[in-house]
Amino acid sequence: MNDSIDKQFKILTYGCQMNVHDSEILAGMLGQLGYRESLNEDDADIILINTCSIRDKAEQKVFGKVGALKKLKAKKPELIIGICGCMIQQQQVAKRIQKDFPHVDLLFGTHNIHQLPQMIEKVLAKKERVLEIWNEEGEVIEGLPKLREDGITAWITITYGCNNFCTYCIVPHVRGRERSRQPSDIISEIEDIVAKGYKEVTLLGQNVNSYGKDFDNEYDFADLLCEVSKIKELKRVRYMTPHPRDFTDKLIDVIASHDKICNHFHLPVQSGSSRVLKSMNRGYDQQKYLSLIDKIKNKVNDFSITTDIIVGFPGETEKDFLETIKVVEAVKYDSAFTFAYSPRQGTPASKMEVQVPQQEKSQRLQRLIETQNNISKQINDSYVGQVWDVLVEGTSKNDPSYISGRTKTAKIVNFAGDKTLIGKEVKVKITDSQTWSLTGKILEEE
Ligand code: 5AD
Ligand code: SF4
């Protein structure tokens, strides 16, 4: 496509790591078409908005952004504006965008990403709006180009979609049924990026530890972790997100016995109340969840535990909420992503009768955040004086004169050091702590 030479693209990504990774694929495909990444929207010839529909707030942000791009399109009619991702998979949202935003040229769903080159060609050739939304997932597509964000840590998708149907969640409706990639495809992708100098991978999926349930053999997530951690030059293996229900003893043993697999357990509890958990269709109750945490604490050294929590799920009473606080205090999470329940059209919870008033949700959220922040700070304080291996990932976000990396427990550590250390594992003595990060002093290089 000669007419795309020296043209620029900008991708705006909302939502989870899955979207961040999809955007890397979109960028890779645009790169192959001859587009290069633009630093700002004004210079771009194509702007793609990769959307998230997990909560109403995420959708409102996108509507605001799309509206704001109208001016730019009026100034520059040849600009291509495309919207993709989870919002487009919802019929009513796609319809609204079509109707309210005539300046959008291209709409495509989560299952159509691989068709981007053909879609752009169509827009350019016909000068008309292109719409591609498959309602169902196709086969897993291998070999798409990717333009990854940095050179140290990489996202590797291992499963697509989700079969869980938690009653509050839109994901299974917009990302389709769970499909696992073949181990050989995953391993060769990782070997490839390690050869390019990457040091750490995060295996990605909506429910990573149900990996392989769709295979007709016994190969499972624990087997995959073992295999990945054998890749020689790879220093660290992370994974996101596991489901507490599918966290087997075999998996805990594998994590405990493989040094490269990071001892960071992100185990979304969602609620501490067994009654609410049942209504959420989570597949565990408070006691089962707490016994999983105990098992981890007994088998693994130097670990961290983080979580996701929703407050104000339909029917949640003050008593239920206090059960959540009780679990937070019992587990002592290193940190938690906390959310007020947001009704999603088409999900069972949105139709449940007793919805919690907004004010109550906000109040509970505030109380939860306060409780958790105190615990996070206490745990971070306990790191002060300790020495940790930190994989240096780049310059510090807060202070560019510092470098920054993470411990195996996923704590961010900022410290003074030379930028040539990026990509190396260094020993750092922790000297100070904040709620969200640590400060340290470098002791020695690897
Ligand atoms: N409302 C609020 N939070 C939600 N999450 C998923 N769906 C909703 C919803 N409808 C949260 C869950 C999940 C995280 C990614 O987002 O805690 O783990
Ligand atoms: Fe949503 Fe539950 Fe699947 Fe996570 S496991 S993506 S919360 S349905």
Question: Phi and psi (nearest 5°) for 143?
Answer: 85, 10
Ligand 2: residue whose CA is nearest its atom 2: 166
162 is in an annotated binding site: yes
pLDDT tens-place string over residues 301-332: 999 999 999 999 999 999 999 999 999 999 99
pLDDT of 398 reads 81
CA end-to-end distance (rounded Å), the chain:
47
Structure tokens at 300: 């693994």
Q: What is the pLDDT of residue 368?
A: 98
How much distance in Å is there from the Cα of 341 to the middle of ligand 1?
7
Testing ligand 1's pocket by substitution, the residue of 270, 308, 352 carrying the most ligand atoms inside 8 A of its CB is: 308
Task: Map tokens 């304080």 to a residue.
Answer: 381
The CB of 310 under 6 Å from ligand 1? The reply is: yes
The pLDDT, as a whole number, for residue 1 is: 47
46 pLDDT more than 50: yes
User: Contact, 228 vs 184, CB < 8 A?
Assistant: no
Q: Tell me what pLDDT residue 423 has.
A: 95
Q: Give me the count of residues in the chain.
A: 446
Instruction: Give residues with Cβ within 8 angstroms of 189, minimum separation 6.
Output: 156
Quote the CA–CA distance of 319 and 339 in Å, as a whole number: 18
User: What single-letter DSSP state applies at residue 215?
Assistant: S
d(CA 202, CA 240): 7
pLDDT of residue 150: 61
d(CA 446, CA 389): 9
The listed CATH number (1.10.10.60, 3.40.50.12160, 1.20.1440.230, 3.40.1170.20) that belongs to domain 2-132: 3.40.50.12160
Q: Report whether 16 belongs to an annotated binding site.
A: yes
Mean pLDDT for all residues in the chain: 94
The alpha carbon of 165 and the centre of ligand 2 are apart by a number of angstroms equal to 6
Mention every residue, 6+ apart, whose C-beta is less than 8 A from residue 326: 272
Q: Which residue puts its alpha carbon closest to atom 5 of ligand 2?
A: 164
Q: pLDDT tens-digit profile of 155-212? A: 999 999 999 999 999 999 998 999 999 999 999 999 999 999 999 999 999 999 999 9
Find, among 71, 76, 172, 82, the residue nearest to 123 by Cα.
82
CA separation for the pair 161, 241 (Å, rounded): 12
Mean pLDDT of 346-362: 96
Closest ligand 2 atom to the C-alpha of 172? 8
Share of the chain above pLDDT 90, in %: 89
| C-alpha to C-alpha distance for 37 and 158, rounded to whole angstroms | 27
pLDDT of residue 140: 73
In angstroms, what is the span from residue 53 Cα to ligand 1's centroid? 10
The reported pTM is 0.93
CA pair distance 405, 409, nearest whole angstrom: 11
Separation CA 6–CA 26 (nearest Å): 17
Asked if residue 4 has pLDDT above 60, the reply is no
CATH of the structural domain 148-262, one choice from 3.30.300.30, 1.10.287.110, 3.40.50.720, 3.30.750.210: 3.30.750.210
**CA 283 to ligand 1 center in whole angstroms:** 16
Q: How far apart are CA 191 and CA 276, in angstroms?
A: 43
DSSP lists the bridge partners of residue 391 as 406, 425
- The answer to whether the beta carbons of residues 111 and 134 sit under 8 Å apart is yes
Helix (H, G, I), strand (E, B) or coil at 50: strand
| pLDDT above 80 for 445 | no
What is the Rg, in whole angstroms, of the alpha carbon atoms belonging to the chain?
A: 23
226 is in an annotated binding site: no
Query: Phi and psi of 435, rounded to 5°?
Result: -65, -40
Q: Express each pLDDT in 251-270 by its tens digit.
A: 999 999 999 999 999 999 99
- Give the pLDDT confidence of 394-417 residue by residue, as tens digits: 999 888 899 999 999 999 999 999
Q: Whose CA is nearest to atom 7 of ligand 1?
A: 169
Q: Cα of 225 to ligand 2 centre, how many Å?
A: 21
| Residue spans per domain, the chain | 2-132, 148-262, 384-445
Residue 129: the pLDDT is 82
> What fold does the segment set 384-445 form as a domain?
OB fold (Dihydrolipoamide Acetyltransferase, E2P) (2.40.50)
Q: Which pLDDT does position 149 carry in this prediction? A: 67
